[in-house]
């Protein structure tokens, strides 16, 4: 029976940067919630998509020499693009919106016009501080140390004719909404919004730009494009058919049950978004939940830094479910978290391999050994079973309470309370001893039924987080389809229960921590940077001129630093003539004098002598000079020691 409709969304992603595991975090959490609601019997609409307009995209496309549309198409539809990533992460979205979709663009034009016509959008002049990477305007008071409060980068003074949205008009209503309802969670985000943005005075918001063209055109004023937030935020409604005929689920799914968003865009979702909806007299979403950020080894996550935060690499090594599980189990959803490879591996080993995987494999193995994998009718209950059953009921109730609050990590603690208890139940009931006597066979049968039932319940509860593995577990227990959802959570291990189980390969093999860390370390090393080669000379030297240069093999008899110079080394060289040759060379930065003694080098010996730091230099030593990532490197040309001093090189 359908329990009603449920609408949940993720932020729509900028297709401008490499997506890393931090981006997947919110989408995995949203997917988990959507699957949970489906299992409860709701008709779920899960929306995700891409936010494809703006100057950043226009600039990047120009850099790449392609059109902005081609640029976003590549990142959204291309190999290992956004769609591929969501497929990899097993994201069960119901609808995917691109803000470049025609129906959305036309709807945004209508929305902009409606707000202009009702007087909430007006034309003015913008002077302010603009952060180009974030595409955000800031007031002086919002800057942190004169820099963008979101990304900490430099901001520029900007002035241009622009349209404004009368955000200030809604300040009191928004403050009331935030302070006196549960619209925004966690609660700590409310104080942040009220104290940092509303109390200092909400200013009207610039909603159009003339300095770039890659955006939704304002159809009644050529040259203006809708500045990103109206375009981006209304995706949540246009994707249901608001101001367009492409879809018509608005009355079923709006207002949204929850928007999941990262903490840095809470401001847009909890202040600007409700104000815009108020302007059009539209119902507000029921809730905005601002989750924390994942860092990597304490640093901001970024694929370009060479961190192994590539979901493709991680899921290939550990499996998608292990990755999904780790994200949800380890970090409380409202807070920031620190992703480390050690933590990832130890979570997989402890929870998935030891606790869950072992329980499943021990149980099906014992079923096979003691009952040929078929647990028929009958059995003998004991008081301990009641304890297990009561604990399972408590776990289910707590789990649901935590899931309703989006506390995935706490809900998972509950599931592991049940799994731990079931493992302990094996130690307490000692099936291997019960199996020794026919008299205790009935008791053993009930013990095994209880274990199967605990696993079944845990697997259902884990389905939203690790859908494939949960299905694999339920398959090993041959659980009927109708006993796999939340309406079938009622605990039953009595005499009538029957099971046929299957022995399978381990679900989560244990990972060798040291070996795996070393492999990840290797993978995270940036690829060897390319050599920056000096441009080749365009001018030819005639052969006779070249032949005039006299190159000789020379052996280093002595080498020392030159006093008061941090550049020069002074060489005493055997050049085969019987008289020492002195050459000064500016390579002290690259070599210690003692490491060069005895080496055979190449010198050009017919250059006119030069004085350096008051000492004469008769010739020049050849070396290779090159540059790696802007850093200059130098290697002296060293040749085979078998070549005698004075040998002519040509
Ligand atoms: N386009 C806007 C959203 C518009 S919604 C109407 C945007 N896009 S984004 O691609 O930059 O970010 C998408 C989401 O990924 C945001 O919720 C952001 O918080 C989240 N994350 C990006 N890096 C993250 C981490 N390292 N950790 C957790 N979430 C992170 O913002």
- In tens, the pLDDT along 182-226 reads 999 999 999 999 999 999 999 999 999 888 899 999 999 999 999
Shortest-distance Cα residue to atom 18 of ligand 1: 262
Q: Is 29 in the pocket of ligand 1 (CB under 6 A)?
A: no
CA 259-260-266 angle, to 5 degrees, is 90
Q: Which bin fits 198, alpha (ψ -120 to 50), beta or left (φ > 0)?
A: alpha
The pTM score is 0.80
Q: Is 21 in the pocket of ligand 1 (CB under 6 A)?
A: no
Ligand 1 atom closest to residue 269's alpha carbon, by position in its atom list: 6
Shortest-distance Cα residue to atom 19 of ligand 1: 262
The four Cα atoms 233, 237, 241, 243 give a dihedral, to 10 degrees, of -60
- In tens, the pLDDT along 475-488 reads 999 999 999 999 99
Whether residue 377 has pLDDT greater than 70: yes
Two structure tokens written together for 481: 């389809």
Two structure tokens written together for 636: 């002296």
For ligand 1, pick from 9, 11, 226 the residue to mutate: most ligand atoms within 8 Å of CB: 11
DSSP-derived pairing of the beta strands 205-206 and 156-165: antiparallel
Q: Return the H-helix or E-strand segment holding 427.
A: helix 408-429
CA of 11 to the centre of ligand 1 (A): 7
- In tens, the pLDDT along 286-318 reads 999 999 999 987 778 766 666 668 888 898 899
Q: How confident is the model at residue 529 (pLDDT cuts 50, 70, 90)?
A: low
How far is residue 479's CA from residue 18's CA, in Å, rounded to a whole number? 41
- In tens, the pLDDT along 621-639 reads 999 987 766 677 889 999 9
* Helix count and strand count (H, E) for the chain: 23, 28
Ligand 1 atom closest to residue 260's alpha carbon, by position in its atom list: 17
DSSP-derived pairing of the beta strands 623-628 and 631-636: antiparallel
Q: What is the mean pLDDT of residues 347-372?
A: 98
> Residue 337 in contact with residue 330, Cβ under 8 Å?
yes
For ligand 1, pick from 98, 135, 265 the residue to mutate: most ligand atoms within 8 Å of CB: 265
CA of 47 to the centre of ligand 1 (A): 15
How large is the C-alpha radius of gyration of the chain? 34
| 553 beta partners | 602
CA of 293 to the centre of ligand 1 (A): 9
- What percent helix, strand, coil does the chain show, rounded to 5? 45, 20, 35
Shortest-distance Cα residue to atom 22 of ligand 1: 23
Whether residue 537 has pLDDT greater than 90: no
Q: Is 28 in the pocket of ligand 1 (CB under 6 A)?
A: no
566: closest CA among 540, 586, 536?
A: 586
Q: In sequence order, which residues have a C-beta less than 8 Å from that of residue 91 and are 6 or more positions away?
A: 27, 28, 31, 48
Ligand 1 atom closest to residue 263's alpha carbon, by position in its atom list: 19
Please tell me what DSSP assigns to residue 465. T
């Amino acid at each position: 029976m359908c329990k009603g409709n449920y609408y949940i969304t993720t932020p729509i992603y900028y297709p401008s940067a490499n997506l890393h595991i931090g981006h997947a975090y919110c989408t995995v959490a949203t997917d988990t919630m959507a699957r949970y609601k489906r299992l409860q019997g709701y008709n779920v609409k899960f929306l995700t998509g891409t936010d494809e307009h703006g100057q950043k995209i226009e600039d990047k496309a120009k850099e790449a020499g392609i059109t902005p549309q081609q640029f976003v198409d590549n990142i959204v539809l291309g190999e290992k693009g956004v769609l591929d990533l969501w497929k990899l992460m097993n994201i069960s979205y119901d609808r995917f919106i691109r803000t470049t979709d025609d129906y959305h663009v036309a709807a945004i034009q209508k929305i902009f016009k409606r707000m202009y016509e009702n007087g909430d959008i007006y034309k003015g002049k913008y002077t302010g501080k603009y952060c180009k990477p974030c595409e955000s305007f800031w007031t002086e008071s919002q800057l942190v140390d004169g820099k963008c409060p979101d990304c900490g980068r430099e901001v520029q003074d900007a002035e241009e004719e622009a349209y404004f949205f009368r955000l200030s008009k809604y300040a009191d209503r928004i403050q009331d909404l935030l302070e006196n309802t549960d619209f925004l969670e966690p609660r700590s985000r409310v104080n942040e919004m009220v104290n940092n943005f509303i109390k200092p005075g909400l200013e009207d918001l610039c909603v159009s730009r003339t300095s770039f063209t890659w955006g939704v055109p304002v159809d009644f004023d050529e040259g203006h494009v809708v500045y990103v937030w109206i375009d981006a935020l209304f995706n949540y409604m246009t994707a249901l058919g608001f101001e367009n005929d492409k879809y018509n689920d608005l009355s079923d799914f709006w207002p949204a049950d929850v928007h999941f968003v990262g903490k840095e865009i809470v401001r847009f979702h909890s202040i600007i978004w409700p104000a815009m909806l108020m302007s059009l007299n539209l119902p507000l979403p029921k809730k905005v939940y601002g989750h924390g950020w994942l860092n990597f080894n304490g640093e901001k996550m970024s694929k370009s830094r060479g961190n192994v935060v590539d979901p493709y690499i991680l899921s290939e090594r550990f499996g998608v479910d292990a990755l999904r599980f780790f994200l949800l189990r380890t970090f409380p959803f409202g807070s920031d978290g620190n992703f480390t490879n050690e933590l990832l591996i130890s979570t997989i080993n402890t929870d998935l391999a030891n606790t869950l995987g072992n329980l499943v494999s021990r149980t099906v193995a014992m079923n096979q050994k003691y009952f040929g994998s078929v647990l028929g009718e009958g059995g003998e209950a004991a008081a301990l079973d009641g304890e297990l059953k009561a604990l399972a009921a408590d776990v289910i109730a707590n789990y649901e309470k935590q899931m309703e609050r989006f506390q995935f990590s706490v809900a998972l603690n509950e599931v592991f309370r049940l799994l731990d208890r079931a493992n302990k139940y094996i130690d307490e009931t000692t099936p291997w001893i019960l199996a020794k006597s026919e008299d205790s066979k009935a008791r053993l049968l009930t013990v095994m039924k209880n274990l199967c039932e605990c696993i079944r319940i845990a697997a259902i509860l884990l389905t939203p987080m690790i859908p494939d593995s949960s299905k694999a577990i339920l398959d090993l227990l041959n659980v009927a389809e109708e006993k796999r959802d939340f309406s079938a959570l009622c605990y039953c291990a009595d005499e009538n229960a029957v099971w046929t189980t299957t022995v399978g390969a381990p679900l989560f093999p244990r990972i060798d921590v040291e070996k795996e860390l070393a492999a990840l370390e290797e993978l995270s090393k940036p690829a060897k940077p390319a050599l920056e080669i000096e441009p080749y000379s365009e001018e030819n030297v005639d052969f006779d001129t070249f032949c005039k240069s006299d190159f000789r093999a020379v052996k280093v008899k002595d080498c020392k630093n030159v006093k008061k110079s941090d550049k020069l080394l002074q060489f005493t060289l055997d050049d085969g003539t019987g008289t020492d040759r002195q050459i000064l060379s500016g390579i002290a930065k690259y070599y210690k004098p003692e490491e060069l003694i005895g080496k055979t080098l190449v010198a050009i010996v017919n250059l006119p002598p030069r004085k350096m730091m008051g000492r004469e230099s008769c010739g020049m030593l050849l070396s290779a000079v090159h540059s790696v990532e802007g850093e200059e490197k130098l290697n002296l040309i060293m040749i085979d020691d078998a070549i005698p001093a004075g040998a002519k090189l040509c």
